[in-house]
Amino acid sequence: MCLGVLLDNRLTFAPHIRCISGRCFYHLWQLRVVRKSLTVEAAKTIVHSFVVARCDYCNSVYYGTSAVHIRPLQNVLNAAARLVVYKGKYDSITTDLHDVLHWLPVQQRSEYKVSLLIYKCLHQAAPLYLTEMCVPVSAIQRQHGLRSAVRGDLEVPRCNLARYGQRSFNVSGPSLWNSLPLIVHDSSLTLTQFCTRLKTFLFTRAYGTSS
């Protein structure tokens, strides 16, 4: 266990996700008893505190994890959304996630966290050991004239382990950053501007339309 995250020998995080999902569903069951007495905004605040915050804790480690393993967390998020908007267990919730709650799916929430961490690394707002893994292509003498250097891309080191190497932060972080459009990873953006554009981009990719 590291920072409350259960590690398995294949780094699927399946045991950890099952544990988190179980706790979240317990809290949702308890909150359902008092839901009739709450407004939508009050329900949203309580659900964020007891459920969504648990799903988001250390969620950057889920980046690159199989969709099968993170599906329980998406089920939790869907159940939490149904509780907030007061819908039945089997009612469709996708429209409400987008139009009412403006919640990103679990996969995009993980991408958001990793991208934000890269932004902080590039602006010296992250620990040094992480910042050192984010090397701009423009800072490499033999590559500073490449188009990727002009774009503000980061160097992606080669990795030998096909299963785990591509999920390590020094590989997955720069790869994700390089995949963002220029309007998002513009180095001149403030933190607030970056977060707004990043969420809009991820919303578009997840739902086919912006938030």
pLDDT tens sequence across 13-31: 899 999 999 999 999 999 9
Domain-located, residue 35: yes
> Whole-number mean pLDDT of the chain?
89
Interacting residues of 32 by C-beta distance below 8 A, sequence separation 6+:
83
| Helix and strand element counts for the chain (H, E) | 10, 0
Report d(CA 175, CA 166) in Å as an integer.
Answer: 9
Q: Are residues 72 and 33 in the same domain?
A: yes
Report d(CA 138, CA 31) in Å as an integer.
Answer: 52
What percent of the chain shows pLDDT beyond 70? 94
Smallest CA-to-CA distance from 13 within 65, 51, 67 is with 65
pLDDT class of 138 with cuts at 50, 70, 90: confident
pLDDT class of 144 with cuts at 50, 70, 90: low
What percent of the chain shows pLDDT beyond 90? 64
Positive or negative: CA dihedral 60, 66, 72, 74 = positive
Q: Are residues 88 and 176 in the same domain?
A: no
The pLDDT of residue 50: 94
pLDDT class of 163 with cuts at 50, 70, 90: low
Q: Which of 77, 102, 127 is the last residue of a domain?
A: 102
- Which amino acid belongs to residue 65? T
Mean pLDDT on 59-76: 92
Q: Are residues 36 and 63 in the same domain?
A: yes
pLDDT class of 211 with cuts at 50, 70, 90: low
Report d(CA 47, CA 4) in Å as an integer.
Answer: 21
Domain-located, residue 8: no
Q: How many domains does the chain have?
A: 2
Q: Are residues 145 and 202 in the same domain?
A: yes
Mean pLDDT on 170-187: 91
pLDDT class of 6 with cuts at 50, 70, 90: confident
Q: Which of 102, 117, 141 is the last residue of a domain?
A: 102
Q: Which of 102, 132, 149 is the last residue of a domain?
A: 102
- Backbone phi and psi for residue 154, each to the nearest 5 degrees, phi listed first: -110, 150
Smallest CA-to-CA distance from 191 within 119, 102, 135 is with 119
Mean pLDDT on 72-90: 94
Q: Are residues 98 and 37 in the same domain?
A: yes
pLDDT at 2 over 80: no
Positive or negative: CA dihedral 198, 201, 207, 210 = positive
Q: Are residues 189 and 130 in the same domain?
A: yes
Mean pLDDT on 86-94: 89
